[in-house]
């Protein structure tokens, strides 16, 4: 039985900041941000959006009456959840009128939890043929204004339907994964911005990739030449290039050129959105599938997921004939409608948050074009609605 990703969709805010503007404001060479980091634009997430609203805005593109009742597992992967107890998935369940008879939970392990959810969904469907799962990976990446990590912020959500006979990617049962207690990036519960040991985190990412890749080759007998393309977790797009370069010398010369070309396709959207932690690998997969001109049904794709703290997983999937039909987001329209904000506007949006003492607050949602928005806080309850 083939099991895998049947549909994918993406949502983010309708505002962005340009990385050349940010470089000028921070007295940096634009080339460092554009090439050295590999980012051209960055989603700016207003206070009227959070992981719940972005998750719902992505998920509504893949849920309809044809699959609603079959979805009895909903997993929300995030490291920027809105409540220490209640899962973001339950809010989405109400907003989208999802199946009441569903297991509905949130999972956390830095940027890795979306992959954990996907793999658990695959195993669940293998045990319960005919069922479907909804996996949401949503985050807002925040390091702080004028920090080294600022150029690697961003935010958004990817939603995936996992099912039998998937339209997009059949997942092979070949995952290799590892975890170890490492303090490269973390966010204590009292903080709204991540703590990070930047260069160390990038080194650990590469080390984990190399280790799971070597195990993968050993266990499966596959080599780099068996892959049409790779998609990486992209905290910033240069990071994936560093990962790919680790293993590129193993490939034939013409294969190296092809893999580098496919990598460019896999980072087109991430360059313009920035980091969305749990969702970044899956935005990169959407980018690859949408922008590559050379993919064919039957191609083997390799995916590397990394979550600081740290956990890494490498797995492969086989591209399915109807994959384009499973991609539900119109990125042309998404980028077209985004509004470029100045550095001063971005900083004001960044500094605006819900009161942490639980005081009531009504937010002005008139400037937010998303379907689902956060309208404020009342009696310490977040007010979500469609508008």
Marked catalytic residue, from 41, 60, 106, 111: 111
* Nearest distance in Å: CB 337, ligand CAA: 26
Q: Which of 36, 279, 305 is nearest to 148 (CA)?
A: 36
Of the listed pieces 147-155, 218-226, 332-340, 369-377, which binds ligand CAA according to CB under 6 A? 147-155
Please select the residue that binds ligand CAA; options are 45, 202, 251, 285, rule is CB under 6 A: 202
- In this structure, what token pair is assigned to residue 204? 């650990």
Of the listed pieces 35-43, 119-127, 128-136, 284-292, which binds ligand CAA according to CB under 6 A? 35-43
Is 306 one of the binding residues for ligand CAA (CB under 6 A)? Answer: yes
Please select the residue that binds ligand CAA; options are 76, 91, 185, 227, rule is CB under 6 A: 185
Residue 199 bears catalytic tag? no
Three-state SS for 236-301 is CHHHHHHHHHHHHHHCCHHHHHHHHHHHHHHCHHHHHHECCHHHHHHHHHHHHHHHCCCCCCCCEE
* Nearest distance in Å: CB 197, ligand CAA: 8
Please select the residue that binds ligand CAA; options are 2, 29, 192, 378, rule is CB under 6 A: 29
As to burial, measured by CB atoms within 10 angstroms (0-12 exposed, 13-18 middle, 19+ buried), residue 361 is middle
C-alpha distances (whole Å) from 160 to each of 172, 238, 317, 346 are 17, 25, 15, 30
Count residues binding ligand CAA (CB under 6 A): 26
Is 36 one of the binding residues for ligand CAA (CB under 6 A)? Answer: yes
Please select the residue that binds ligand CAA; options are 80, 290, 292, 308, rule is CB under 6 A: 308
Largest CA distance in the chain: 63
Marked catalytic residue, from 79, 150, 311, 313: 79
Torsion of CA 21, 22, 23, 27, to 10 degrees: 110
E strands, the chain, are 3-11, 15-18, 41-43, 71-77, 103-107, 132-141, 154-164, 169-171, 176-179, 185-186, 195-196, 229-232, 300-307, 311-319, 339-340, 361-362, 372-378, 381-386
* Nearest distance in Å: CB 70, ligand CAA: 32
Is 163 one of the binding residues for ligand CAA (CB under 6 A)? Answer: no
- Interatomic CA distance for residues 385 and 387, integer angstroms: 6
As to burial, measured by CB atoms within 10 angstroms (0-12 exposed, 13-18 middle, 19+ buried), residue 185 is buried
**Cα-only R_g, the chain:** 20
* Nearest distance in Å: CB 18, ligand CAA: 17
Please select the residue that binds ligand CAA; options are 275, 284, 320, 329, rule is CB under 6 A: 275
Please select the residue that binds ligand CAA; options are 104, 115, 201, 237, rule is CB under 6 A: 201
Q: Is 32 annotated as a binding residue?
A: no
Q: Is 238 annotated as a binding residue?
A: no
Marked catalytic residue, from 41, 60, 150, 233: 233
Is 235 one of the binding residues for ligand CAA (CB under 6 A)? Answer: yes
Is 83 one of the binding residues for ligand CAA (CB under 6 A)? Answer: no
Is 148 one of the binding residues for ligand CAA (CB under 6 A)? Answer: yes
Please select the residue that binds ligand CAA; options are 151, 159, 265, 286, rule is CB under 6 A: 151
DSSP state of 165: S
Is 263 one of the binding residues for ligand CAA (CB under 6 A)? Answer: no
* Nearest distance in Å: CB 234, ligand CAA: 8
Q: Is 242 annotated as a binding residue?
A: yes
* Nearest distance in Å: CB 29, ligand CAA: 4
Is 239 one of the binding residues for ligand CAA (CB under 6 A)? Answer: yes
- CB-based contact 104:71 (threshold 8 Å): no
Is 283 one of the binding residues for ligand CAA (CB under 6 A)? Answer: no
* Nearest distance in Å: CB 80, ligand CAA: 12
* 66: CB partners within 8 A, 6+ apart: none
* 16: CB partners within 8 A, 6+ apart: 41, 42, 43, 44, 272, 338, 339, 340, 341
Residue 111 bears catalytic tag? yes
- CB-based contact 234:303 (threshold 8 Å): no
List residues binding ligand CAA (CB under 6 A).
Answer: 29, 31-32, 35-37, 111, 148-149, 151-152, 185, 196, 198-199, 201-202, 205, 233, 235-236, 239, 275, 277, 306, 308
- Annotated binding-site ranges for (3S)-3-hydroxy-3-methylglutaryl-CoA: 143, 242, 275
Q: Which residues are catalytic?
A: 79, 111, 233
């Amino acid at each position: 039985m083939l099991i895998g990703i049947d549909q994918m969709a993406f949502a983010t805010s309708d505002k962005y900041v340009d990385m050349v503007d940010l470089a000028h404001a921070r007295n940096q060479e634009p080339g460092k941000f554009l090439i050295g980091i590999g980012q051209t634009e960055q989603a700016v997430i207003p206070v009227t959006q959070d992981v719940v609203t972005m998750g719902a805005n992505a998920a509504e593109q893949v849920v309809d009456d044809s699959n609603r009742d079959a979805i009895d597992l909903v997993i929300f992967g995030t490291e920027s959840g809105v409540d220490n107890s209640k899962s973001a998935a339950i809010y989405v369940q109400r907003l989208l009128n999802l199946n009441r008879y569903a297991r509905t939970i949130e999972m956390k392990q830095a940027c890795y939890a979306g992959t954990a959810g996907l793999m658990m969904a695959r195993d669940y469907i293998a045990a319960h043929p005919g069922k479907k799962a909804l996996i949401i990976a949503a985050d807002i990446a925040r390091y702080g204004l004028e920090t080294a990590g600022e150029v690697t912020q961003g935010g958004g959500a990817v939603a995936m339907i996992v099912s039998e006979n998937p339209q997009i990617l059949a997942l092979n049962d070949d995952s290799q994964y590892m975890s170890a207690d490492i303090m490269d990036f973390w966010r204590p519960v009292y903080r709204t911005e991540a703590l990070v040991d930047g260069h160390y985190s990038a080194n650990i990412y590469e080390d984990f990739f190399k280790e799971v890749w070597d195990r993968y080759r050993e266990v499966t007998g596959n080599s780099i030449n068996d892959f049409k393309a790779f998609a990486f977790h992209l905290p910033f797009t240069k990071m994936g290039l560093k990962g790919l370069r680790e293993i590129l010398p193993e490939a034939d010369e013409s294969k190296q050129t092809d893999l580098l070309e496919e990598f460019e396709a896999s980072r087109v959207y991430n360059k313009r959105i920035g980091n969305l932690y749990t969702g970044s690998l899956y935005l990169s997969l959407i980018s690859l599938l949408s922008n590559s001109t050379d993919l064919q049904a039957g191609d083997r794709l390799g995916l590397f997921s990394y979550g600081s703290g740290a956990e890494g997983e490498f797995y492969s999937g086989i591209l399915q004939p109807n994959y384009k039909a499973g991609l539900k987001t119109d990125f042309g329209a998404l980028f077209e409608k985004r509004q470029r904000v100045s550095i001063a506007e971005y900083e004001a949006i960044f500094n605006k948050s819900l009161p942490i003492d639980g005081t009531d607050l009504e937010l002005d949602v008139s400037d937010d074009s998303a379907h689902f928005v956060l309208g404020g806080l009342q009696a310490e309850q977040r007010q979500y609605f469609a508008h």
